[in-house]
Structure 1
């Protein structure tokens, strides 16, 4: 780990519960803004664009990994947790991100990848040297079976066995992802303490929280028991593509172990003095929401988590969303969810769900009305579709491995489009960018969207402002949801108001009966329907938000 002179950021005043109901904007730094002309986005580019981000009205940014890395998995393979990779700048550039974001009232969350490192991390380089060095037990090593095959049947989410043979130690090491991403051994106390020190380093530097990559992958079964097979009818493709046999197992021993809770409590204790918050990514096909509930229960574990119920699959119906939220109410009564429709790992939701412009707007408003926190992904506010990336331009090893049945994640990672005046959309002055800028995106650039009063970016601002203006939406209670004629209906309530929320998730008109009361439309920019004598006529993909005062 590189030793750096620590810069202590100026204190940033914040409510310890700032994360409840917060709107978080995810930045994939390789693709946001290039300030050096090398075709790759960087931290200085983020600094440049922070006024724009603040103008959206969000509470915080989440920055995907920018740490030193060989970039086999584009930063999710860390070789130094406490330094910035030169392609993104240096620590002083990160300090500028913190300072500028805080000056604009925006908090900064960074993406911590704690379950595994790069095989070039000094910890692993030392660990693989022998069976008896200081870090010999820092990774998950195991002997081969008598026939030389791997210790058990665990599979990598990127395909094939989760075990890789190492000729030096004459043992296998565990990798839940790429072979170049060996898994840390959380059964080793020194590993846990080293990772807690990583958290302390960035908290002292001024970060306001963490997004915790693959939070349920930290701890493995110490006995290395085989995972049972999963019946065909129970298989899903929430966290791995359907063509991946990873979906054929019930992952009860390689991840989501109960011992993980002990580490999460230690991490929460480290964060507590800083009023920092964490959002965990739960990757589990069968038990994602249950784990979300476990990991966010009480006040000594994680603040919030997200699973993949709204990040994968076909366009959700009102009944599907009701079922998901009912399930959350059942298994996470004392927890907190964070909802997202798109991120750097999944196809952009306007393409995945084949949404019309009206449907995109409706889903945006719905997200801002759901109980929990919300996360939006860069370019989502422009209504960007998934980009089409040719095979010869692919960078994602996941997509290359499963092409053409699964094209990987590059289509949602192409560079942000700021203007349409040049071939790179204002992202970079390089002759070639790390992924090509989508020509289909140029017509939806920030500059053009800002100039068009009817573009979806203005709807995002209105929907976010609606959430920010009503504590009932940020932290209030939510009634049990109901479904009527394909419409999702529920109420949110705060100390002094109740909000009636209705969303038509169909292509047909619907006529709903509004409960008795003195209801008023509170924002015509996001809610166009007006009740007439207790009857609400909702057009296709139309939302309606009504308010009545309680005092």
Structure 2
């Protein structure tokens, strides 16, 4: 039986999100209570004590809105209701009540760059060129030869334009053809999506994760995108090298200057409600940090953003330092949310390991590094168990992105398989029926019930590490300064007030002995869960994939 931590004064403060630990729940795969093989809101309610016992501050729910599920709920057909497969609004309200009782904030996805083609807005918009919603989506005439208006591409492959025989025009879709883009140049569209946001604010949600936040506006002149710059990686998802989307510099189909004013409108609405927050997903290739800076500066737009910088295969000190240092230099008064995994990328244990035998060690050291970075952090369900990417056959795939690029790319389903709760039960306790994606046998052996009774488990490490983070104010919102070391060592200080901590991480697969960085005077070693590095005279001795902490 897990016990939830007591509420803290910080959970009631206006800046609770700054330095918060957010746990992402993918509702389809978390817990099924009605035996249809798909997770639901009642399942989330059942497992909230487990989430609270991890020591996190908030949960982020991936979409649960009414949807035909062409893109697993990221194609919304009703922004103000719960899809019946997940439950009802009453279930959602009950979940909110239970989350508040446990001291958890609730952040929900808002997918407002596009809708489903089954949304009533789009059905009306495509009906004619002169109805009240005719200009609510991005429509354009064909070129004289019948081809698309310009060269824009879809993230999911192929052109970003789909011909509609009713209007005899093309409509724009950054993702699936069944996900038409809203026309944010139309003020009525902005008003409508803000009304939907207000609906959930009135139900007490504490914040919004804004999907594809830099995709809201397009270039009014529909100018062609130029070829991509050699050093940019534009796709924003795994495997850009198999996707022609990465062959363009996306100067005109996203990240338009008009987005700034809309984000100010969004923030003005949130500021009417106390203690709310926003975290924006920015996929903008080499320009991502510049975009984050623009979207989070001034205190009148987004509270924080995250990029795909740490969601790739590189788990080296130089890469982590570059990402964090670049953010701190470019984003002066904004805030970042770091993550190693989410529902769109291969699980980080599989990305970072060099051989299967080090999976548990890598899972633990990655958690330690993430928990000590400056910023808020997101954990993705199952990473606290050290789950690797699930291996699926083509016949099992449900992800349209994976199906489109198979076999060069296996898609995102391998990180979306069901949560494993009980090793002894059918479907690992996720469901009594065949689940929408198969339960991995490798995952079942790592189920929660097995790790609950093991003090050396990855789950125990996550709980202890998050408790350590929470007990040190410098780790919540203190300053961070990197120190010069060799390329296999990540060293930095975290400081706030009188507290100044040194962290040194060895991400090499062999031991290291390094001299204490110049200008650093160690006062005493600090015990950190899972780290066994030692301070010996003027050196720090580190084992493979190990770390050390000291008070300065």
User: Structure 2: how far apart are the matches of 1:151 and 1:261?
Assistant: 26
User: Structure 1: how far apart are the matches of 2:474 and 2:234?
Assistant: 35
Q: Deviations over 1:318-343 (max 9, x none)?
A: 11111112211221111111000000
- Partner of 1:3 in structure 2? none
Shift of 1:480: 3.3
User: Structure 1: how far apart are the matches of 2:448 and 2:238?
Assistant: 32
Using a 3 Å threshold, how does the CA distance of structure 1 residues 284 and 233 change in structure 2: closer, same or farther?
closer
- Partner of 1:158 in structure 2? 156
Q: Deviations over 1:447-481 (max 9, x none)?
A: 00111111101111111111111110110011134
Shift of 1:422: 2.4
User: Structure 1: how far apart are the matches of 2:86 and 2:114?
Assistant: 21
Instruction: Show structure 1 runs of 5+ residues with no match.
Output: 1-11
Shift of 1:391: 0.8
Q: 1:496 aligns with which of 495, 498, 501?
A: 498
* Within-5 A mapping of 1:47-196: 47-196=45-194
Shift of 1:113: 0.2
Do the aligned partners of 2:11 and 2:57 also contact (CA within 8 Å) in 1?
Answer: no
Do the aligned partners of 2:234 and 2:248 also contact (CA within 8 Å) in 1?
Answer: no
1:424 matches 2:427? yes
User: Structure 2: how far apart are the matches of 1:30 and 1:513?
Assistant: 49
Q: Deviations over 1:36-87 (max 9, x none)?
A: 0110000000000000000000000000000000000010000000000000
* Within-5 A mapping of 1:201-280: 201-232=199-230, 234-235=232-233, 238-239=236-237, 241=239, 242-274=241-273, 275-280=275-280
- The residue matched to 1:286 in structure 2 has which SS? helix
User: Structure 2: how far apart are the matches of 1:222 and 1:240?
Assistant: 29
Shift of 1:315: 2.9
Using a 3 Å threshold, how does the CA distance of structure 1 residues 13 and 522 change in structure 2: closer, same or farther?
closer
Stretch moving more, 239-248 or 62-71:
239-248
- Partner of 1:386 in structure 2? 389
RMSD: 1.4
Do the aligned partners of 1:292 and 1:305 also contact (CA within 8 Å) in 2?
Answer: yes
- The residue matched to 1:416 in structure 2 has which SS? coil
* Within-5 A mapping of 1:333-412: 333-354=332-353, 356=358, 357-412=360-415
Question: What number of residue pairs does the alignment pair up?
Answer: 535
* Within-5 A mapping of 1:490-529: 490-514=492-516, 516-529=520-533
- The residue matched to 1:202 in structure 2 has which SS? helix
User: Structure 1: how far apart are the matches of 2:463 and 2:222?
Assistant: 49
User: Structure 1: how far apart are the matches of 2:428 and 2:342?
Assistant: 21
Using a 3 Å threshold, how does the CA distance of structure 1 residues 463 and 265 change in structure 2: closer, same or farther?
same
Using a 3 Å threshold, how does the CA distance of structure 1 residues 162 and 485 change in structure 2: closer, same or farther?
closer
* Within-5 A mapping of 1:321-332: 321-332=320-331
- The residue matched to 1:415 in structure 2 has which SS? coil
- The residue matched to 2:501 in structure 1 has which SS? strand
Instruction: Show structure 2 runs of 5+ residues with no match.
Output: 1-9
User: Structure 2: how far apart are the matches of 1:198 and 1:42?
Assistant: 22
1:292 matches 2:292? yes
User: Structure 2: how far apart are the matches of 1:364 and 1:372?
Assistant: 14
Shift of 1:295: 0.9
User: Structure 2: how far apart are the matches of 1:114 and 1:481?
Assistant: 41
Do the aligned partners of 2:238 and 2:345 also contact (CA within 8 Å) in 1?
Answer: no
1:540 matches 2:544? yes
Do the aligned partners of 1:344 and 1:413 also contact (CA within 8 Å) in 2?
Answer: yes
Do the aligned partners of 1:296 and 1:334 also contact (CA within 8 Å) in 2?
Answer: yes
Shift of 1:516: 4.4
Do the aligned partners of 1:79 and 1:122 also contact (CA within 8 Å) in 2?
Answer: yes
Stretch moving more, 355-364 or 487-496:
355-364
Do the aligned partners of 1:20 and 1:372 also contact (CA within 8 Å) in 2?
Answer: yes
User: Structure 1: how far apart are the matches of 2:520 and 2:75?
Assistant: 56
- Partner of 2:6 in structure 1? none
Shift of 1:16: 1.1
Shift of 1:505: 1.2
User: Structure 2: how far apart are the matches of 1:161 and 1:139?
Assistant: 17
Do the aligned partners of 1:239 and 1:285 also contact (CA within 8 Å) in 2?
Answer: no
Shift of 1:232: 4.9
Shift of 1:231: 4.6
- Partner of 1:445 in structure 2? 447
* Within-5 A mapping of 1:39-50: 39-50=37-48
Using a 3 Å threshold, how does the CA distance of structure 1 residues 177 and 481 change in structure 2: closer, same or farther?
farther
When normalised by structure 2's length, the TM-score is 0.95
Using a 3 Å threshold, how does the CA distance of structure 1 residues 481 and 270 change in structure 2: closer, same or farther?
farther
When normalised by structure 1's length, the TM-score is 0.95
- Partner of 2:308 in structure 1? 308
User: Structure 2: how far apart are the matches of 1:386 and 1:25?
Assistant: 18
Shift of 1:237: 5.6
User: Structure 2: how far apart are the matches of 1:326 and 1:245?
Assistant: 30
- Partner of 1:8 in structure 2? none
- Partner of 1:483 in structure 2? 485
- The residue matched to 1:389 in structure 2 has which SS? coil
User: Structure 2: how far apart are the matches of 1:400 and 1:234?
Assistant: 25
Q: Deviations over 1:511-541 (max 9, x none)?
A: 2233543532333423322312232111111
Q: Deviations over 1:92-150 (max 9, x none)?
A: 11011111111000100000001000000000000001111110110000001111100
